[in-house]
């Protein structure tokens, strides 16, 4: 795979020429072969497994506010053909518990380690989108022995990597939720506040920090991503041997817009799987 891929597939070109939508068509979901909760000390965390229990594991990490079903209509069905796909609902999402004061990438990383230990998974491939990619980076730094490879999409290692307008909007929304939570005092609003808060000041890594990552890394981002392009390129440059893919015409949610035409083939290529 080339270091930077700036062209789209022929299938995507045809779709643009003939007006065919690039959004993935509805696909049948694979069977949920295992489901449950893992006791992570102060919180029970929801997980699900798709695909064969005998296959190599692939851990999917959802975006901010997403849960174990965030990839149901995108990459999960295809990945389940090749992997034992592990999906999770981070704290405060899905049916997982929420504990005030614990909504941070470090705690989430500890939760993931406990989930993998519970499932007897020594080492796994990881794909994370947006905050899920951020979590993948933090987890890989904290538990490098548990990571086989890391693919991230639309991810940033600190808030300076987010476009200024987007970061201002995120911070404003967080302040509004803080005020609303203080006035109402209800759990639902506090959860929404804490989830949004993970995009304010988190993560707080440097490019020197991530240079410690030694596993294979695949960094995907859109041409019109909310993550600044220089930041995405510096992530790739800072990790020895890292590969990257810029999706021409893609925005922040490109993994959902170009699932079949670009994302799935690129991921399978990165994982060394021939269709």
Going residue by residue through the chain, which has 275 residues, state the pLDDT in tens, using 9 for 90 and above. Answer: 433 333 333 333 333 333 333 333 456 899 999 999 999 999 999 999 999 999 999 999 999 999 999 999 899 999 999 999 999 999 999 999 999 999 999 999 999 999 999 999 999 999 999 999 999 999 999 999 999 999 999 999 999 999 999 999 999 999 999 999 999 999 999 999 999 999 998 999 999 999 999 999 999 999 999 999 999 999 999 999 999 999 999 999 876 789 999 999 999 999 998 76
Model pLDDT, residue 3: 36
Residue owning tokens 């987007």? 166
Cβ-in-10-Å burial (0-12, 13-18, 19+) of 39 comes to exposed
pTM of the full structure: 0.88
First to last CA, the chain: 16
Return the pLDDT at 114.
98
- Quote the pLDDT of residue 26: 52
Q: Is residue 259 a contact partner of residue 70, using CB atoms and an 8 Å limit?
A: no
User: What are the beta bridge partners of residue 46?
Assistant: 37, 89
245: which residues sit within 8 A by CB, 6+ positions away?
4, 5, 218, 219, 220, 221, 262, 266
pLDDT in the model for residue 274: 77
| Alpha helices, H only, the chain | 10-17, 76-79, 105-118, 131-142, 164-184, 187-197, 207-210, 229-238, 254-257, 264-270
- Res 246: pLDDT: 95
Residue 37 tokens read as 């909760």
Cα–Cα distance for residue pair 15/13, rounded to 1 Å: 5
pLDDT of residue 28: 81
């Amino acid at each position: 795979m080339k270091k930077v891929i700036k062209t789209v597939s022929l299938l995507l070109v045809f779709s643009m020429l003939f007006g065919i939508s690039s959004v993935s068509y509805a696909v049948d979901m694979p069977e949920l072969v295992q489901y449950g909760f893992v006791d992570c000390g102060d919180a029970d965390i929801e997980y699900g497994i798709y695909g064969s229990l005998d296959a190599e594991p692939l851990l999917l990490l959802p975006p901010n506010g997403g849960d174990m079903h965030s990839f149901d209509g995108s990459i999960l069905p295809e990945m389940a053909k090749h992997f034992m796909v592990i999906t999770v609902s981070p704290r405060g999402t899905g049916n997982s518990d929420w504990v005030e004061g614990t909504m941070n990438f470090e705690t989430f990383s500890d939760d993931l380690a406990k989930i993998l230990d519970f499932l007897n998974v020594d080492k796994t491939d990881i794909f994370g989108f947006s905050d899920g990619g951020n979590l993948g980076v933090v987890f890989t730094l904290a538990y490098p022995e548990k990571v086989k490879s890391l693919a991230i999409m639309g991810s940033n290692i600190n808030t300076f990597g987010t476009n200024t307008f987007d970061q201002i909007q995120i911070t404003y929304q967080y302040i509004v939720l803080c005020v609303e939570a203080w006035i109402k005092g209800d759990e639902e609003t506090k959860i929404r506040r804490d989830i949004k808060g993970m995009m304010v000041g988190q993560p707080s890594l440097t490019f020197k920090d991530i240079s410690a990552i030694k596993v294979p890394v695949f960094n995907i981002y859109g041409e019109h991503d909310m993550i600044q392009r220089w930041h995405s390129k510096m992530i790739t440059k800072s990790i020895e041997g890292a590969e990257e893919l810029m999706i021409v015409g893609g925005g922040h949610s490109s993994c959902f817009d170009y699932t079949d035409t670009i994302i799935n083939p690129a991921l399978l290529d990165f994982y060394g799987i021939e269709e």
